[in-house]
Amino acid sequence: MAKTTAKETLSSYRRILKEVGEGKYKPCYLLMGEEPYYVDKIATLVAAEALTEDQKAFNQMVLYGQDVTSALIVDNARRYPVMAPRQVIIVKEAQQLKGLDTLAAYFKSMNPSCVLVLCFMGKSVDKRTEFWKNAQKYCEVLESVPLRDYEMPEWISSFLQERNTRIEPQAARLLADFLGTDLQRVVMELEKLFLFMPEGTWAVTTDMVEKSVGISRDFSPFTLFRHITDGDFAKVQPIVQYFADNPKKYPLVMIISLMYTHLSRILKYHALRMEHPAMSVEEIGKIMGGNYYFFKETVQAARFFTFPRTIKAMDLLCAYDSLYKSSGRGEAGDGELLMEMICKMFA
């Protein structure tokens, strides 16, 4: 079975939100996966919209997997609503439930007047089980896959587009570099951004991001990587020193992870160039996908990071990641390790 992609997760998420917003409910939602943002949003929307406030007292319950059994959930799900079109049962931390076979049997003959929401947080269900097979057949299933680092700028742009707001590509990259892939945190910072936007403004600029989040485009991992690929060692040094002075804001492990993401795209670009020597840069860009603005950066970076240098740099990242996490680093600080690693990349 092919793995679910982040794009498929987003597509399913949007479809479910649209259907719930239109008052179209399924008898069971199985929400699972490593990214909690989508799971929480759907469960919250169902809880808010499926019943009116006066109907919720007798027809809505929130249960927790560690406190209940599958049999108790099924018993409650088979009840009929009281003076309401439906009842709603939301089971949080459902990954702690035992006896899922009972729920698997319930899926075959579900109460149409009950909306059951099962939230498996942080993991997916065992796909070898009868529970999974029946859930696929009879339930609305969302597998919430976390995004990769390089997918975050596009996700941020898409999130803002849904609110009729655009963002400068560099501003999206700056946010993605600083905030990582935690969607809850990203959305919280985007909400803060709206407070800094002057009335009537429909575009997020890099200046707004700097003021809202408290970061600087001149001292970001993205800018560091750009100076490395430009071969401008003089501009690299003050950024490394800034990171060394602010280890909580820019931990070495985060910088290594972001650099590895950049280098992985460069390596993929080189591999495609070697595999298809007659293919144009634009055609390779279509195969690689993503925002063309960022693809142009990859092409530019590939001039410095040739194929052999990219392999060497990725080996260095792996070596220094291990050194960072071990006792072998001695008294060397994060800034010293980062500078030493970058010097070896330039060598």
Q: From CA 39, how far away is CA 125, in angstroms rounded?
A: 14
Q: Which three-class secondary structure state does DSSP give residue 307?
A: helix
Side-chain half-sphere exposure of 300, counting CA atoms within 13 A: 13
- Cβ neighbours of residue 347 under 8 Å, at least 6 residues apart? none
149-215 and 219-346, same CATH topology? no
What confidence tier does 330 reach under pLDDT thresholds 50, 70, 90?
Answer: low
The conformation of residue 133, written as its DSSP 8-state character, comes to: H
User: In the block, which residue shows the tokens 């003076």?
Assistant: 83
Burial grade of 307 (CB within 10 A; 0-12, 13-18, 19 or more): middle
For the chain, helix (H) and strand (E) counts, in that order, are 17, 7
Residue 340, token pair as written in the block: 């030493």
Nearest partner of 168 among 202, 219, 214, judged by Cα: 202
Average pLDDT over residues 103-109: 95
Helix axes 292-304, 221-229, angle to 10 degrees: 50
* 6-144 is classed CATH 3.40.50.300: yes
pLDDT for 91? 96
pTM, rounded to two decimals: 0.73
Please give the Cα distance from 40 to 298 (Å, whole number): 35
Highest mean pLDDT among 30-44, 167-181, 243-257, 289-303: 30-44
Instruction: Say how far apart CA 202 and CA 188 lie, in whole Å.
Output: 18
Residue 283 is classified by DSSP as: H
Task: Tell me which CATH code domain 219-346 carries.
Answer: 1.20.272.10
Whether 290 has a pLDDT exceeding 70, the answer reads no
What does the domain layout of the chain look like in residue ranges? 6-144, 149-215, 219-346
How far apart (Å, rounded) are the C-alpha atoms in residues 21 and 38? 15
Class for domain 149-215, per CATH? mainly alpha
Q: Round to whole Å and give the CA distance between 220 and 246.
A: 11
- pLDDT band at residue 197, thresholds of 50, 70 and 90? confident
Alpha carbon distance, N-terminus to C-terminus of the chain: 44
Least confident of 13-27, 98-112, 189-203, 313-327: 189-203
Structural Rg of the chain based on CA atoms: 24
pLDDT band at 2 (very low <50, low <70, confident <90, very high): low
Handedness of CA 91, 95, 99, 103 (dihedral sign): positive
Asked whether the beta carbons of 323 and 334 are under 8 A apart, the reply is no
Q: How high does pLDDT run on average in the chain?
A: 88
- Alpha-carbon distances, residue 128 vs 35, 135, 136, 146, 260 (angstroms): 21, 12, 12, 22, 34
Reduce the DSSP state of residue 166 to 3 states and report it: strand
- With 90 as the cut, is the pLDDT of residue 213 above it? no
